[in-house]
Structure 1
Amino acid sequence: MMHRIISLLLLAGSAYGWLPVEQWGSGNVTGSVGESGQCICNVFLPDTTFPADRMDIVQITSNKLSADVEVYIKKLTSMKAELVILLSELTNLTSRLEIVESGPDKYIKLEFDLLRVELREFESLVTHLKTSLNSSSSIFDSLYSEIRNMSLTVDQLESYDRSNLEVIRLEFMKLQKKLEKCRDEQDDFSNAAIGSCKHGGILRISKPVVSQLNADLSGSYLYGGWGKDSSPVSGYENMYWYSAFSSTLLSRIHVYSDYYKLIMRQPMKTYELYTSHDWRGLGNNYIVRGNTLYYQYREPFSMGKYNMTSQTAVYRVVPSASNRFSYQYSDSQNLDFAADESGLWVTYATEVTKGKLVLGKIDEAAFALSEVWETNIFKQSVTNAFMICGILYATRSVDTQTEEIFYTYNTRTRQDNYVSIKFEKFQDFYVNLDYNPRDQKLYMFNNGYYVSYNIKFKSD
């Protein structure tokens, strides 16, 4: 170990201008053996002092250079990130410019203005990068030149095709007028105040408004219904409901916070009618009123009431109601529930009336029939029925595209009437048709699709 120290010291002395190693004579180094037998060497160095100050300067300079290099590396990394973003946005802008160049029908004046703004931003960014890096490379020069060329192209395109832009503007104005006319016609259907019965009944029904296929996205789910709560509880005024299956069995119902959630198929709650209890139903003529589902109870045959707040169900047998007389379009449509401005209703047929349609008013608190009316139409000749302001409207099929309201019954005057109010079907087969007094619309479950109609009333 001592020999290595000596060698290092000799080399250091040589490096800093001391006497060369070969000039150190044997007289300068003496050795002896200690009491314990260890080797003791005595080295006599010249008086020249070790240049520690020079070593400090070298170390300080090295640290400063290291810090400068690290700062510059960070700056380059940051600039590289900005360049990546710039190149990405420039690629996107180039694509958009190609679309603009492809034809006059692909752009409007606003598109030119947006392109100009973005090009100015790119030009400013390239200038900033050049200044920050304190360099003028061929890459920056190429980018700057490309941006300037794109700006000129935008100006030329706008100048060249002003006439085409004017044509597009006129087409937009025509479209706007058509939309305004459509809106006016839509407003014309809302001629009676919501909740008011100061009108002379239905004058006509709008064309079908098709929302979409059912939320289960199943073309085989032909049996079901959808709509809004006819008397919503506070906080659920915009709620929609939906239920469907491949048969007339009713086993669950979905509710949605609003129309958007319905269309996006995002229910806020799904209620199962077959869990620890068998509360399932049959048929598709059910409605939701007061956050409660009213439906045809499966076993025993009766009218059911499922409270979605407490998630409990009860049923009541309807005196004399028969399960042999369904609507024309589908089996198991024996009890049809409806709601209007005056309350809750149910239609059915009995053996005593030999299948003629019977209308009952439901006392919601007691969940029992408070009054009953017998009509003169055979229930199996009817495709569906609904209530508006205490008047029953019955429908029948005209052809695969046309439905007709052909019969009305006024519960106040106990008079019936044969009418002809035709309206268009989306498809030939439907199982649920109900009026909602909250928005004066008809809701139809038509071959698995959500369909609705606006109603135009006669003047009182």
Structure 2
Amino acid sequence: MKLKVIVTLCALITVTRQARQHDKCVCELSNTGKAFPHDKLSTVEDNASKCTNNITPQKTLELESLLLGLERRLPRLLEDVSMLEKEDDGDLYAVLSLQVVENELTEIKQLIDRLNGTTLGHQQLTTETNKQLEDLRAEMVQLETYDTTQVVKGHQDNHRLRKDLDQCRNTLFPTIQPTQRPHGYCPHGQFRNITTPRVYTAGEYAGSYKYGAWGRDPKPEAGKESWYWRVMLTSGDKHSNYVRLYSSLSALIVGVAKPGSVMIHSSNPTTNTIQGPNVVLYGGALYYNCYNKPDVCRFNLTTTTVTTLELPRGTRFNSKGNFCHLDECYPYTDLDLATDESGVWVIYTTSQDFGNLVLSKLEEGDPPTLGQTWRTSVYKQGVTNTFMACGVLYVTRYVNKDTEEIFYSFDTATGAERFNVGIFIKKMTPNIYSLNYSPVDKILHAYGDAYMVTYKVLFS
């Protein structure tokens, strides 16, 4: 019995030694498929990237802005021609009105020429892009033949199934639409851009009154829907004691002030007269920085009475918290009044906020009251102007004598701040001393160096 066990163990040892004589195990793998063309895939990716760079939202926005400009100009031209026919006195006024109409016709022709050029460029771009897409489609179909394990086909099938599943869920459990608009809702959509200047005029005082403001009443009284207003700082470019009213835009351009000036006080400056260029008109009342006080004045144009609102303790005034750029500061711009779809706002700064912009909503009333307040992270003396649109504060800065940039925004609905808005304003004069947004026609009114300019605000 013991002998058999010994023999078996010897045999096992021999076999093990024979197996260890083989040092390597070599496997040969032969690929019968074609080698994947990585260079071709890289070329397809480059072509797709170039195609994406050629088709940009800016190209569509350019066409849209031209169409909007034309859409606005044509009714305006019709109104001015009708006014010329009604008010033609055969004298100086008719000549000035005719000149306005001729200028509008020239600008409309320029718009149409630009629109035709843009349309031809887009047609050529569309033709080239269609050819590029067809070439890319053919190359991708050829590349899919290398997908022998059908990984790509599996991804496509999964994507199709997910899409069908989402449609099925939405059919069975439809989303209930809210009955009320969400907070911060803007009826126009998202602020996207502004057009080039639409109106550029010195009005009746060519070259005079460097500082001031102008615009429309977003909440006009009945019969005053087409009126425009203008405030000019007449006392040392710092103060004013009246507001000038015009029955239409063409009347403002040619300098026919009807019904004319409404006086706040016979003296200038004095208690409760205007200080600084940042003025707005809303609901038949003028809102502005009171003379020599950190207060908001409300001047009722009908009753010619003034009520005041005291701003928080430490509010900077008398040129202690101006708008500035590297070369200069704009005097007496401590308080900036603004209007939008919801009413009147005041933008200012305080000593306890270390010079950063503070935004407060003004609640309507006589006198007005201070509503909710927001604090921002942007330094007031590092910016040149502000305006409101749909509850969002927009802030500008000086780039050069030809360009201003809307670089910052603050959303009062969410508290979100953006420092990269990147919308540029083409200036007709080196400085913009006041900006007023009109929600009536979505126009931005700028005043600077005695000239009045308008820009169309583009929403998505």
**TM-score of the aligned structures, taking structure 1 as reference length:** 0.56
What is the deviation of 1:243?
A: 1.6
Q: Please, which of 316, 326, 330 is the counterpart of residue 322 of structure 1?
A: 316
Q: 1:414 to 1:215 in 2, by over 3 A?
A: same
For residues 256 and 242 of structure 1, the distance between their equivalents in structure 2, rounded to whole angstroms, comes to: 8
Summarize deviations over 1:249-299 as a string: whole Å, max 9, x none.
122110011112212212112112222884312111101111110000004
What is the deviation of 1:314?
A: 1.2
For residues 326 and 220 of structure 1, the distance between their equivalents in structure 2, rounded to whole angstroms, comes to: 22
Q: Retained in 2: the 8 A contact 1:274–1:280? A: yes
Q: 1:370 to 1:448 in 2, by over 3 A?
A: same
Moved more, 359-368 or 381-390: 359-368
Summarize deviations over 1:345-396 as a string: whole Å, max 9, x none.
1000000001000000011125011110000000011100000110000000
Map 1:326-337 → 2, pairs under 5 A? 326-328=322-324, 329-337=329-337
Summarize deviations over 1:73-112 as a string: whole Å, max 9, x none.
xxxxxxxxxxxxxxxxxxxxxxxxxxxxxxxxxxxxxxxx
How many aligned residue pairs are there?
276
Which runs of no fewer than 5 residues in structure 2 stay unpaired? 1-105, 120-183
Q: Retained in 2: the 8 A contact 1:252–1:270? A: yes
What is the deviation of 1:199?
A: 4.8
Instruction: Verify: 1:352 aligned to 2:343, yes or no.
Output: no
What is the deviation of 1:306?
A: 0.4
Map 1:192-271 → 2, pairs under 5 A? 197-217=186-206, 219-246=207-234, 247-267=237-257, 268-271=259-262
Q: Percent of counterpart pairs with the same letter?
A: 33
Q: Please, which of 280, 288, 291 is the counterpart of residue 287 of structure 1?
A: 280
Which SS does the other structure have where 1:260 is aligned? Answer: helix
For residues 252 and 110 of structure 2, the distance between their equivalents in structure 1, rounded to whole angstroms, comes to: 28
Instruction: Name the counterpart of 1:428.
Output: 430
For residues 263 and 424 of structure 1, the distance between their equivalents in structure 2, rounded to whole angstroms, comes to: 20
- Residue identity in the other structure for 2:323: Y
Q: 1:200 to 1:178 in 2, by over 3 A?
A: closer
Instruction: Name the counterpart of 2:392.
Output: 391
Bigger strand fraction:
1
What is the deviation of 1:308?
A: 0.4
Summarize deviations over 1:230-251 as a string: whole Å, max 9, x none.
1101110000001213512122
Q: Retained in 2: the 8 A contact 1:196–1:341? A: no
Q: Please, which of 296, 305, 321 is the counterpart of residue 303 of structure 1?
A: 296
Q: 1:409 to 1:270 in 2, by over 3 A?
A: same
- Residue identity in the other structure for 1:294: Y
What is the deviation of 1:215?
A: 2.4
For residues 257 and 354 of structure 1, the distance between their equivalents in structure 2, rounded to whole angstroms, comes to: 43
For residues 347 and 446 of structure 2, the distance between their equivalents in structure 1, rounded to whole angstroms, comes to: 17
Summarize deviations over 1:120-154 as a string: whole Å, max 9, x none.
xxxxxxxxxxxxxxxxxxxxxxxxxxxxxxxxxxx
Q: Retained in 2: the 8 A contact 1:224–1:248? A: no
- Specify the structure having the higher radius of gyration (Cα): 1
- Residue identity in the other structure for 2:357: L
Q: 1:175 to 1:254 in 2, by over 3 A?
A: closer
CA RMSD for the aligned pairs? 2.6
- Residue identity in the other structure for 1:439: D
Q: Retained in 2: the 8 A contact 1:210–1:426? A: no
Which SS does the other structure have where 2:400 is aligned? Answer: coil
Q: 1:245 to 1:215 in 2, by over 3 A?
A: farther
Which 4+ stretches in 1 moved above 4 angstroms? Answer: 174-177
